[in-house]
A = this chain, B = another copy of it.
Amino acid sequence: MKHFTSIQDVANPNDLIAPALEIKKTPYSTSQLGMHKTLGLIFFNSSLRTRLSTQKAAQNLGMDVIVMNVSSDGWALEMEDGTVMNGNTAEHIKEAAAVMGQYCDILGVRTFAGLKDRKYDYEEVILNKFKQYANCPILSLESATLHPLQSLADMVTIQELKPNNKSVKSWTRPKVVLTWAPHPKALPQAVANSFCEWITKQDVEFVLTHPENYELAESFSGNAKIEYNQNKAFENADFIYAKNWSSYHNYGQVLSNDESWMITKEKMSFTNNAKFMHCLPVRRNVVVSDDVIDSNNSIVIQQAGNRVFAAQAVLKELLKSIEKNGQ
């Protein structure tokens, strides 16, 4: 595995999911693997879980970690080629990425969609510039269109819960629902896109539910079954994954704030006693009601906890590939 920026970088997702669950049992069993290796975490945007869990994962592997918040610690970077840089940008990504790549053995990059220009966002300009110029493995800490570390943790969490429920018949092939939920702000599609990419590779029944006109990019949601009736989608579900996103087709727009899409106790009652998942941060009583997220069926904290082991499994593979290349 050369980079980890989407499921496309991964030969077989199960080669990360099973190891992550192993790592969870003995997180320090390879605490020398990352010795004398530096992970640079480059933040163009805010982060809590990814910031902390990826640091923790790297430290579990014995890596050194350097954190940089680009805009507050440094300066604005130019992304366009050929520009006469007499404006606000002080350094070109070509130099910045190449230099960071020399100082670090692996570079983690966090960059959100601007939600103004779909073509620009979906071309993953910043992430790809890092891939192009940094000359080291790039680890996505969420990019404009995808959040693979989140999705891997999501898969790990679903996998982890399966054996505990062997008695439930449906769980040999659980029904997993990704449902849109309301939100006051326009949010990227990254978590939803990424979840679709990963879950459709798993042996589950996957249903996507959202208001009309909230269709995700087909390149990610692919052949997922869409059910516009949320209540119907929830029927017999084993996992409800809630997430807001702004419109892909009317790019970046909030087309609906329909409160009836909030995940409530009543909605959950249609399910097969489903687990409630969300990537966090979540707005309570907007996306999900208190009684759902505070219920025993809510696994959002366990899910967030698995971010460490997902990141550690990924870092382990990236370290191995560095080793192989004799770096």
Q: Are A56 and B74 in contact (CB under 8 A)?
A: no
Q: Which residue of B lies closest to A183 (CB)?
A: B86
A301 contact set on B, CB distance < 8 A: 95, 98-99, 102
Are A47 and B74 in contact, with the CB atoms below 8 A? yes
A52 touches B100 (CB 8 A): yes
In the complex, the answer to whether A52 meets B68 with C-beta atoms within 8 Å is yes
Given A91-B280, A95-B300, A280-B99, CB of A83 within 8 Å of CB of B48: no
Cα(A284)–Cα(B60), bound, Å: 40
- One complex includes copies of this chain to the number of 3
CA distance A64 to B285 in the complex (A): 36
Q: A304 in the interface, Cβ–Cβ < 8 Å?
A: yes
CB-CB < 8 A to A27: which residues of B?
A: 36
A277-299: contact bitstring with B at CB < 8 Å (1 yes, 0 no)? 00011111110001001100000
A148 interface contact, C-beta 8 A: no
Chain A residues near B (Cβ < 8 Å): 27-28, 31, 36, 38, 40, 43, 46-49, 51-53, 55-56, 59-60, 64, 66, 68-69, 72-75, 78, 81-87, 89-92, 94-96, 98-100, 102-104, 184, 280-286, 290, 293-294, 300-301, 304-305, 308
